[in-house]
Amino acid sequence: MNNEKVRVRFAPSPTGPLHIGGVRTALYNYLFAKKHNGDFLLRIEDTDQTRLVPGAEEYILESLKWCGISPNEGQGIGGEYGPYKQSERKDAGIYKDYAFQLVKDGYAYYAFDTADELNEMRELAKKAKMPNWQYNSITRSSMKNSLSLSADEVQKRLDNGDPYTLRLKMPRNEEVRFYDEIRGWVIVNTNNMDDKVIYKSDGMPTYHLANIIDDHLMKITHVIRGEEWLPSAPLHVLLYRYLGWEDTMPKFAHLPLILKPDGHGKLSKRDGDRLGFPVFPLEWHDPKSNEISSGYREKGYLPEAFINMLAFLGWNPGTSQEIFSMDELVQAFTLERVGKSGSKFDPEKTRWFNQQYLRAKSGEELAELLQPILEQEGITADKEYTAKVCELMKERATFIKDLLEEGRYFFEDIKEYDAKTLKKKWKEDTPEIMGELLSQLKEIDEFTTENIEQKFSAFLEEKGFGFGKVGPGFRLLVTGKGMGPSMFEICAVLGKDKVVERMENGIEKVNSLKEELKQKQ
């Protein structure tokens, strides 16, 4: 890096929910800026006013906040290079002079073709077996523009207020080259490029022009964005050149695609719906269709797990380490270790990351996260008690809600007993054995894990029983389950009174259920 201060930006369009690919772009920009003690800007690119969706901008801001990706400048924050929303920049008159300077310098021209005329030309081209018709250096001469019309005709149309666009005048047969920090040298011939619209008569620039002007005026040093923008990069290089800014042009880095789990094609919302995982950070309510799309937050993913997973979709640290805090990611991240090829999304690996982060939390932290779920279900529990439950259950949980689902017996009376355990493990002599075990447990003064285990082991030894003879019935009576954490730890958390009560009441209940089961067979 040279001495110039690093300045990067995340510039989403508020045309719908933020895809996880967009979040990853924001993350990589954030990590790069932090690594180099630079600035990370948020800019809203709303040049295409027809595609704006109500609530999308707020959704973007909330998503970044949940993820812990905090811009230090930009929309909703402020800074010396604002405004940071393109429609507001257009109203401030920022783009107009640059657009018309390109016309004056011969790099752009007026085009008066209507949408209908352009569609008609595309249809004619299809019939002539030229399906990929473009408005370019060859076809422009047959269209209605300031290069094909006389100067008087152009002036007349402008005086009449005819709608127009400004198109970039693409040179013929020139090579445009630039260096991509991830892909190396990229070379494109202008014969493969069309005369893109850069400005409309309503005063709104298109994305291409606004993007270049904003990046220049905001002193952006690196443009880190998705691979889908790679075909536009040669056009952007030409705009920098034509505007006289080539010497200060930012460095480009185009990130690889996030692919479907099978590796065939870009991950889309439909893939998530089909395969049962979210592709958005937060739940999205579509204001037009009223459709609800699931989000990682609402599905119970921890933001730090979500971020860790996203970081590995395209980047790797070059070591075997997989769990990274945000600070560790900042230290480890480099563009050199971002791959060129697409990265397959793995929903199971995402669950694994969540599991690891959940297990790393203390019982107290998990209790705080579980509290809203308990309240929602009308369950009142002491925080210290809940923390003990969480500590005990976390090895078996992937999501916070699992702590309750798998350990509901800590908070509620047993409503049903595991049918498989009842059928296979509750034998003729089990009620008598449970009664004897209960008598032993009642003798314990300090109902600790160690004391319960000691008494249980002594009981087995005295009776000559194996664990399988006693353990399953004991677990069934106390928890209603066939599996779970250590019974000694469970009993210590529940307390002596609750364990005794469940065993006393449960022996008869389970016996009755066993009899009903026999009669059905």
10 Å Cβ neighbour count for 223?
Answer: 22
Q: Give the separation between CA 13 and CA 460, rounded to whole angstroms.
A: 68
Say what the pLDDT of residue 521 is: 67
User: In the structure, what pLDDT confidence band is assigned to residue 273 with cuts at 50, 70 and 90?
Assistant: confident
Percentage of residues in the chain having pLDDT higher than 70? 99
**Nearest-5° Cα angle at 199, 196 to 202:** 140
Any idea what DSSP says for residue 248? G
Q: Mean pLDDT throughout 355-383? A: 97
Which tens digits make up the pLDDT trace of 88-138? 999 999 999 999 999 999 999 999 999 999 999 999 998 988 878 999 999
pLDDT of 84 > 90? The answer is yes
Which tens digits make up the pLDDT trace of 459-503? 999 999 999 999 999 999 999 999 999 999 999 999 999 999 999
Say what the pLDDT of residue 48 is: 83
Residue 170: which of 138, 145, 199 has the closest Cα?
Answer: 138
CB 346 within 8 A of CB 388: no
Fold classification of 362-410 (topology level)? Helicase, Ruva Protein; domain 3 (1.10.8)
Please, where in the chain does CATH 3.40.50.620 lie?
1-74+256-360
**CATH classification number, 93-255, choose in 3.90.800.10, 2.30.110.10, 1.20.1730.10, 3.40.50.970:** 3.90.800.10
Which tens digits make up the pLDDT trace of 206-239? 999 999 999 999 999 999 999 999 999 999 999 9
Say what the pLDDT of residue 356 is: 98
Residues annotated as catalytic are: 269
Helices and strands (DSSP H and E) totals, the chain: 21, 14
Please give the sequence-ordered ranges of beta strands (E in DSSP) within 99-201, or none if there are none. Answer: 108-111, 165-168, 175-180, 184-189, 197-200
Please, where in the chain does CATH 1.10.10.350 lie?
413-521
pLDDT of 173 > 80? The answer is yes
Which tens digits make up the pLDDT trace of 10-27? 999 999 999 999 999 999
Q: What contacts 379, CB < 8 A, 6 or more positions away?
A: 404, 411, 412
Q: Mean pLDDT throughout 332-336? A: 98
pTM of the full structure: 0.92
Q: What contacts 16, CB < 8 A, 6 or more positions away?
A: 53, 56, 284, 286
Say what the pLDDT of residue 274 is: 84
Say what the pLDDT of residue 2 is: 57
Say what the pLDDT of residue 201 is: 85
Which tens digits make up the pLDDT trace of 29-68? 999 999 999 999 999 999 888 889 999 999 999 999 999 9
User: In the structure, what pLDDT confidence band is assigned to residue 339 with cuts at 50, 70 and 90?
Assistant: very high
- 225-232: Cβ within 8 A, 24+ apart: 225/11, 225/25, 225/253, 225/254, 225/255, 226/21, 226/22, 226/25, 226/254, 226/255, 226/257, 227/254, 227/255, 227/256, 227/257, 227/342, 228/257, 229/254, 230/180, 230/183, 230/186, 230/254, 232/208
Please, where in the chain does CATH 1.10.8.70 lie?
362-410
| Sign of CA pseudo-dihedral 384, 385, 391, 395 | negative
**CATH classification number, 413-521, choose in 3.40.50.150, 1.10.10.350, 1.10.287.980, 3.30.1600.10:** 1.10.10.350
CATH class of 1-74+256-360: alpha beta
Percentage of residues in the chain having pLDDT higher than 90? 92
